[in-house]
Amino acid sequence: MKTALASVFDFYKKNRFAFSIFLFSLLLILLSLGLLFLGGSEEPVQEFNLEVSFEVGDSLGFDVNKSALSFGRVPPGSDSSRGVRIDSDYSFPVRVLIFASEEVASYLSTSQESFVIEPGESAGIPFVLSIPEDMAMGNYSGNVKFELWRER
């Protein structure tokens, strides 16, 4: 009476090509399952954009809009600060990545471009708008994109 291992070995000797295909397929399945359950999320769990707007002018002006990152009127050579708060309702930690659009990236900065928020917690993100002395008067706009990724 042959053991199971002896039967597998006999099959291998008679059908090496088929056995190789079987092992390769099994390896691919195991690798795919590992990626599925252990990581490799290809998309963020959430994405959102905030409009950024400001006016370069001779005097200081305020804008208290809470649905956008609006800095109001800012004189050349000045800085203005605003903050954004992100709340996590997820049951797992999320990594937040922040990207400013090309139109405002040269003037807008934050100390936190990537950070982790634990489940049920919040994070305040400070933004600073720095207007150069030689910037032309006028209205400017762009956006800031926030991506929330499952942290492993």
Q: Domain check: are 74 and 141 in the same one?
A: yes
Task: Check residue 95 and report its DSSP letter.
Answer: E
Q: How far apart are the first and last CA of the chain?
A: 49
**Residue 19 lies in domain:** 4-38
Q: Are residues 65 and 137 in the same domain?
A: yes
Query: Along the 152 residues of the chain, how does pLDDT read in single tens digits?
Result: 567 656 656 666 666 565 556 555 555 565 555 544 555 558 999 999 999 999 999 876 666 666 789 999 999 999 999 999 999 999 999 999 999 999 999 999 999 899 999 999 999 999 999 999 999 999 999 999 999 999 98
- Structural tokens at position 84: 């954004």
User: Both 50 and 119 in a single domain?
Assistant: yes
- pLDDT at position 99 is 97
Say what the pLDDT of residue 34 is. 52
CATH for 106: 2.60.40
Q: Over the chain, what HEC string results? A: CCCHHHHHHHHHHHCHHHHHHHHHHHHHHHHHHHHHHHCCCCCCCEEEEEEEEEEECCCCECCCCCCCEEEEEECCCCEEEEEEEEECCCCCCEEEEEEECCCCCCCEEECCCEEEECCCCEEEEEEEEECCCCCCCEEEEEEEEEEEEECC
pLDDT, position 65? 63
Q: What pLDDT was estimated at residue 102? A: 96
Same domain, 11 and 75: no
Closest of 61, 68, 104 to residue 83, by C-alpha = 68
Measured at the alpha carbon of residue 72, what is the angle toward residues 68 and 77, in degrees to the nearest 5?
125
The number of distinct structural domains making up the chain is 2
What pLDDT score does 20 carry? 56
According to the model, what pLDDT value does residue 152 have? 81
Cα angle for residues 5, 8, 12 (degrees, 5° grid): 140
Say whether both 80 and 139 belong to one domain.
Answer: yes
